[in-house]
Structure 1
C-alpha cells in the first residue's frame, strides 16, 4: 500500500521488509524471543506519522511480523515504538492488546504522561521506554532522568539508541538512573573500529560493573561485510564474554531507514556464530528476555 499524500514529505523513503526469509540452520529453543522489532500500520490516516522524522517507512503491520517470527521459529517478540510515530504509541498498544501472551513493548513517552496511562501500558505489556539519540521523532536525552524516575517503580527499563563512541559524554548520567539500562544494536558504531574502540570499552565496563543489558541486534547497520556480518563477531563475543546473562537478540525488523533490507533469517543465523552452544542460545533467546520483559 502506498503512503497517502499527507504522509509524504521530503524525508527519504525506505524499502519494505524483504520477502525472502531464510530458515535458520539450527533448532531454536522453545520460547525464543526477538527483542527488537517495529510495527507500522497501513492506515496512515488512523495512525499518522510525525512530520519531524528522519525517514518515511512503508507499512509493516503485525500480521507480516508475526509471519516472519513463525518462519524463523521464534515464538515471542518485543515491539519497540518507532521514531516515526513520536509519542503516539496507539498502534503498538493495539497490537499488544491482541497478543498479550506473545508480545511485549517498549514505548516512547514524554514528561507529561499521566500515571493512569502508564498503568494502562503496563497492563498491556510495556516494560520499557526508549531514548533515541540517532533519529528525529523520538524522545531525546533531555527527558532521561525525569522519565527514568517515572517508570522505575513499574520495574521498567530505559533503552538507548546511541552510538557508543559518544558514551563518555553520558555514562555518568546514565549510571545514576534508578532503572535498568538497555543499549541497542551492539552499541551502534562501525564494527571495523573493533573492541578496543574507547566507547565500546566503556560499554563493556558498564555491562560488567553496572549490569547494563545489550541487544545483539542491528549487525547489518554496523558491518562492512554484507551479508555475513562477520566483522561484528568480535563485538558480540566480547559482550558475551563479559556478561552472558545480560545479552538478548533482536531482529530489528522491518529494517527501517535502508534502501535494501537484510534477510531476517540470515541475521538470526549469525547468532549461531556468536553463541555456538545450545546453552548459550537458550540463555540469549529465552532466559534473558523472559527476565527483562517479564514473560511468564
Structure 2
C-alpha cells in the first residue's frame, strides 16, 4: 500500500517569505501582502514541521520586495540548512553580485515574464549566461504563449532552466497552444525542469482542479519525474480562491498516482538540481 503524501519525505520547491515588520517592503512595489498573507520564516518552519516537509526552495517575490532579497536571505541563514533560495536581481547584475548571493545559499535567479512582460527582459541574455557560468539556474514564470518566443533564448544560454506553475497554460486553448507546445519541446534539452504547481494561476475549476490534470499528465510524460518538481506557492498571495497547504498536497497526490514518481519529484529531483541534502544538510 502506498504511503500517505503526509508521511512521505518531501521538499517544497516554490514558497515565499513575507516579514514586513523585520524587513519593510520596498517603495513602489506593485503589491504589498498584508493580513493573512504575512508569512514569516518562523511560521513557515512550523508549517513544514506540521506536514513533514524537510527542506524548501524559497523564491524571492516581486510582490513586497522586488529585487530586495534581504528577507529571503535572512530566512536561509536562520533555517538551519533547511532552505535554498531563488533571488530576484536587476538585469545588469554582475558576476560578483551573483557569487555573493550564491555564497548565501541562492541557487538560481527568478524572472517573472507573466508579471513584467517579455520586453522587460529583452536585455537579460548576458545575465543568463553569467548565471550559467556559475552553475545556477534560470527560473522563469511565463503565461499563455510567452514560451513560444522565449524558449530559443533560454535554451541558448546554457543554464539549467526551471519553469514555474505548469508554464501557466491557457486552459481554454488545450494542450496544443504554441506556448505549451514550446514548453514540452524544451524537455528534449535535458536541462529544463517544470514545477507541477500554481493551479490557482491557470485552472478554471474549483479544487481539485480537474481541468489541470491533462496538462500535468503531458508534462510528466514529456519531462519525466526526474525533471519535475512540486511547490505549494505558500502563502498563496493574491489567490482567487481558498487554498490550504494540506489540500494542495492532496491535489499533487491524486495528480501523480505513482508513489515512485512522487518520491522522485518530491525528493530526488530537488536534491539533484538544488543541492539539498538529507538529515538537515
Q: TM-score, normalised on structure 2?
A: 0.88
Alignment of 1:136-155 (within 5 A): 136=116, 140-155=120-135
User: How big is each residue's C-alpha offset from its partner over 1:237-267, in whole Å with a ceiling of 9 and x where there is no partner?
Assistant: 1111112211000000111123544112111
User: How big is each residue's C-alpha offset from its partner over 1:170-197, in whole Å with a ceiling of 9 and x where there is no partner?
Assistant: 2221221121111110011233432222
**Residue 20 of structure 1 aligns with which residue?**
none
Instruction: Could you tell me which runs of 5 or more consecutive residues in structure 2 were left unpaired when the two chains were aligned.
Output: none
CA RMSD in angstroms comes to 2.3
- The worse-fitting range, judged by mean Cα deviation, of 157-166 and 244-253 is 157-166
**Residue 133 of structure 1 aligns with which residue?**
113
Shift of 1:294: 1.0
**Residue 33 of structure 2 aligns with which residue?**
57
Matched, 1:220 2:197: no
Q: Which has the higher contact order (CA 8 A, sep 6+)?
A: 1
* Contact 1:160–1:183, Cα closer than 8 Å, also in 2: yes
Shift of 1:154: 1.9
Q: How many residues align?
A: 270
Matched, 1:78 2:54: no
User: How big is each residue's C-alpha offset from its partner over 1:27-53, in whole Å with a ceiling of 9 and x where there is no partner?
Assistant: 4433x1100001011317x43234041
**Residue 140 of structure 2 aligns with which residue?**
160
Alignment of 1:163-202 (within 5 A): 163-202=143-182
Q: Distance in 1 between matches of 2:20 and 2:216?
A: 35
* Contact 2:25–2:32, Cα closer than 8 Å, also in 1: no
Matching residue within 64, 68, 85 for 2:47: 68
Q: Which runs of 4+ in 1 moved over 6 A?
A: none
Q: TM-score, normalised on structure 1?
A: 0.84
Instruction: Could you tell me which runs of 5 or more consecutive residues in structure 1 were left unpaired when the two chains were aligned.
Output: 1-23
* Contact 1:29–1:286, Cα closer than 8 Å, also in 2: no
Matched, 1:295 2:276: yes
Shift of 1:118: 2.5
Q: Distance in 1 between matches of 2:216 and 2:248?
A: 13
Could you say if the C-alpha distance between residues 129 and 206 of structure 1 is closer, same or farther in structure 2, counting changes exceeding 3 Å? Answer: same
Q: Distance in 2 between matches of 1:230 and 1:262?
A: 15
Could you say if the C-alpha distance between residues 134 and 198 of structure 1 is closer, same or farther in structure 2, counting changes exceeding 3 Å? Answer: closer
User: How big is each residue's C-alpha offset from its partner over 1:193-227, in whole Å with a ceiling of 9 and x where there is no partner?
Assistant: 32222221221111134531101110122112212
